[in-house]
Amino acid sequence: MQAIGEMNITPRILLGPGPSMVHPRVLRAMSAPLTGHLDPEFLQLMEETKEMLRAVFQTGNFLTIAISGTGSAGMETCLVNLIEPGDEVLVCVNGVFGTRMSDIVERCGGKLVRVDVPWGKPVTPEDLKKGLAKSKPKLVCVVHAETSTGAWTQLPALVNLAHEAGALFLADTVTSLAGCPVKIDEWGVDAVYSGTQKCLSCPPGLSPVSFSEAAMKKLRARKTKPQSWYLDVSMLEKYWGQERVYHHTAPITMNYALRESLRLVLEEGLDARFARHERNHKALVAGLEAMGLKMVVAPGERLWMLNSVHIPDGVQDAAVRSLLLKEFNIEIGGGLGDFKGKAWRIGLMGESSTRNHVLLVLVALECALTKQGFKLKPGAGIEAASKLL
């Protein structure tokens, strides 16, 4: 075997669907000395992390913790704990991640009631009413920010409908948390999960979750154990609670990173952070449209942090993304599922959501599209975006 050289990763400008750019303070936090996962200093760090997570989720839920795993682990945590075999579970599907929830529901032995919504559209109260008319679910699941399409579903009316039907409400906020308002208590959401690598601008590896008292009551009344030992909240709450009962060895440095990323979020302030994401999104869209490109999601239904753009006829998806990577060091995402080869996904999340990144990606796209023979007015994108920046 040949000797393997020292790792030398090229610094990229991460403007895809995740991970996002990471602040130097977060990287420095990860270089702090390793400690034991039951060391008093680490236990204090866990308490501080819980407090800041509650602030970002805008909740007072006691069980607000970081699952050791990526966003999909958070998804599974919520579902395996709240579903028992035979439970009816209604999942609204408007992209990849609603589809993934549906798969997990069936793996848990739940009776899936699937409500399909066109990709690129948000879930509406009318969509949910159709599902509720033919079922009596114990749990309703909706993706707040669908990363595969860029569609933004408004939750308050959906939560009210679920509660009126006697169901708990689960929200996927992997892409929305810390990028747009996520008001768990005000909206009445019963269970929620997110990920660290999107608008929190932390490396992937942890999944913040929060359970309301109603969700905990459902969990404590289970007649069977959750199918996952590792994600069993009845044990995790004892590790994160006052008992500190050993459960697993937490990823120490990832918890350092999350703590620092949450500090950055709260130092900026949620309202200011949301305004920054909205401003940069609007400037990017103005620039893209001035170049003759079309957005996948209609105005008023678009996420600020994840922008889906139709690939013009005659333009090669892979060639454009390859040029952006090789010549500009920029990563953007391709389409998933129904949008594979049909759309680009440009992320402006957390540390990636800056004025400079908006202007740079517009310049890079103009160059790439011109090389593909796409007709556009040189400089139009930059001019339109600059007016809003």
Rounded average pLDDT over 44-73: 97
Which secondary-structure segment (H or E) carries 158? helix 156-164
Alpha carbon distance 181, 88 (integer Å) = 29
Q: What is the pLDDT of residues 194-232, one digit of tens each?
A: 999 999 999 999 999 999 999 999 999 999 999 999 999
| Cα-based distances in Å from 135 to 273, 280, 335 | 39, 41, 33
- The pLDDT assigned to 257 comes to 98
Q: Which of 19-23, 42-46, 242-246, 343-347 has the lowest mean pLDDT?
A: 242-246
* pLDDT over 70 percentage in the chain: 100
Say what the pLDDT of residue 244 is. 85
| Residue type at position 143 | V
Please write the tens of the pLDDT for every residue from 266-277.
999 999 999 999
Asked if residue 241 has pLDDT above 90, the reply is: no
% the chain with pLDDT above 90: 96
Query: According to the model, what pLDDT value does residue 242 have?
Result: 84
Structure token pair of residue 87? 């439970």
- The residue-averaged pLDDT of 128-133 equals 97
Q: Which residues of 308-345 are buried (b: 16+ CB within 10 A; e: fewer)?
A: bbbbbeebeeeebbebbbeebebbbbbbbeebeeebbb
* Residues across the chain: 389
pLDDT at 219: 95
Tell me what the mean pLDDT of segment 172-177 comes to: 98
What integer is the mean pLDDT of 52-57? 98
Sorted by where each starts, the structural domains of the chain and their CATH numbers stand as 24-266 (3.40.640.10), 270-388 (3.90.1150.10)
pLDDT at 190: 98
Residue whose C-alpha is closest to residue 309's, from 291, 322, 330: 291
Residue 23: the pLDDT is 98
Asked whether the predicted pLDDT for residue 353 surpasses 90, the reply is yes
Give the mean model confidence (pLDDT) for residues 18-45: 96
31 CB contacts (<8 Å, ≥6 apart)?
none
pTM summary value:
0.97
Give CA 210 to chain center in angstroms: 14
Torsion angle (degrees, nearest 10) of CA 307, 313, 316, 318? 30
pLDDT of residue 85: 97
Provide the pLDDT for residue 166: 98
Q: What mean pLDDT is reported for the chain? A: 97
pLDDT per residue as tens digits for the range 182-194 = 999 999 999 999 9
21 and 14 in contact (C-beta within 8 Å)? yes
H-run or E-run covering 97? helix 96-107
The pLDDT of residue 1: 86
